[in-house]
């Protein structure tokens, strides 16, 4: 996977370095580069999906995969208010990598609180909580494109990491 990222970076540097400083790329050159980047991204997304699927199978988890690539499992159902865009939500959580490394947890950081749909958390978490209600306990597996992407979070989460949220919905309010 790192090979593909290196190949992309090298290709961009090579293409940009081969032109004179005053020459702008042609429309065709830009379109070709865009197509290459889309193709590489499709390969990376598929590799992430295969890695997640193997992880889920090894653990015997009964998870659902969404069209966006998010995986989720509600392993204990609550009976409270349903999550919806615009509502405030508070979560007890543990966030870890596929190798088991714990990156963040509410035990040390406090509850994760945000307004659903405001974009203040990872896209995958925004999507995932919409399947939940107050009192639910669930797992969410976020591939890199729904988590911290190509660069990670500059702290605990490395570049292109799949992350897992094990969470409990503590409160949902308007």
pLDDT per residue over 61-109, tens digit each?
999 999 999 999 999 999 999 999 999 999 999 999 999 999 999 999 9
Asked if residue 65 lies in contact with residue 143, where contact means CB atoms within 8 angstroms, the answer is no
User: Does residue 50 sit in the same domain as residue 76?
Assistant: no
Residue 7: pLDDT over 90: no
Residue appearing with tokens 């830009």: 30
**What is the per-residue pLDDT for 110?**
97
Total of domains in the chain? 2
**What is the per-residue pLDDT for 74?**
98
User: Does residue 92 sit in the same domain as residue 37?
Assistant: no
The average confidence (pLDDT) of the chain is 91
Residue 156: pLDDT over 60: yes
**24 CB-near residues (< 8 Å, 6+ apart):** none
User: Does residue 116 sit in the same domain as residue 141?
Assistant: yes
- Identify the domain containing residue 124 by its residue range: 65-173
pTM (predicted TM-score): 0.84
Cα–Cα dist 4/32, whole Å:
17
User: Does residue 39 sit in the same domain as residue 81?
Assistant: no
User: Does residue 156 sit in the same domain as residue 81?
Assistant: yes
Q: Give the domain CATH number at 76.
A: 3.10.50.40
The alpha-helical segments, DSSP class H, found in 18-63 are 27-59
**What is the per-residue pLDDT for 24?**
85
The tokens for 159 are 């570049």
User: Does residue 91 sit in the same domain as residue 127?
Assistant: yes
Q: What is the pLDDT of residues 17-63, one digit of tens each?
A: 665 566 788 999 889 989 998 998 899 999 999 999 999 999 999 99
CA distances from 72 to 31, 56, 63, 67, 128 (A): 36, 10, 5, 12, 7
User: Does residue 25 sit in the same domain as residue 107?
Assistant: no
Cα–Cα dist 161/97, whole Å:
7
Listed in order, strand segments (DSSP E) in 67-123 are 71-76, 88-97, 102-105, 112-115
**74 CB-near residues (< 8 Å, 6+ apart):** 131, 132, 136, 137, 138
Listed residues 38, 59, 80: the one ending a domain: 59
Q: What is the pLDDT of residues 136-155, one digit of tens each?
A: 999 999 999 999 998 999 89
The alpha-helical segments, DSSP class H, found in the chain are 2-17, 27-59, 106-109, 123-129
Residue 146 is classified by DSSP as G
């Amino acid at each position: 996977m790192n090979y593909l990222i290196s190949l992309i970076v090298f290709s961009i540097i090579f293409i940009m370095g081969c032109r004179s400083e005053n020459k702008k790329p042609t429309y065709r050159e830009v379109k070709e580069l865009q197509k290459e980047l889309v193709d590489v991204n499709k390969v990376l997304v598929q590799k992430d999906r295969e890695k997640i699927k193997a992880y889920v199978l090894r653990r015997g988890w009964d998870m659902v995969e969404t069209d966006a690539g998010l995986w989720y499992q509600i392993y204990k159902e609550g009976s409270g208010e349903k999550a919806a865009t615009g509502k405030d939500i508070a979560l007890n959580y543990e966030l870890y990598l596929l190798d088991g490394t714990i990156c963040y947890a509410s035990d040390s950081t406090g509850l994760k609180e945000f307004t659903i749909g405001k974009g203040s958390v990872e896209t995958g978490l925004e999507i995932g909580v919409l399947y939940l209600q107050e009192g639910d306990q669930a797992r969410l597996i976020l591939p890199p494109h729904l988590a911290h992407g190509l660069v990670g979070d500059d702290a605990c989460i490395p570049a292109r990491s799949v992350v897992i949220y094990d969470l409990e919905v503590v409160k949902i309010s308007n």
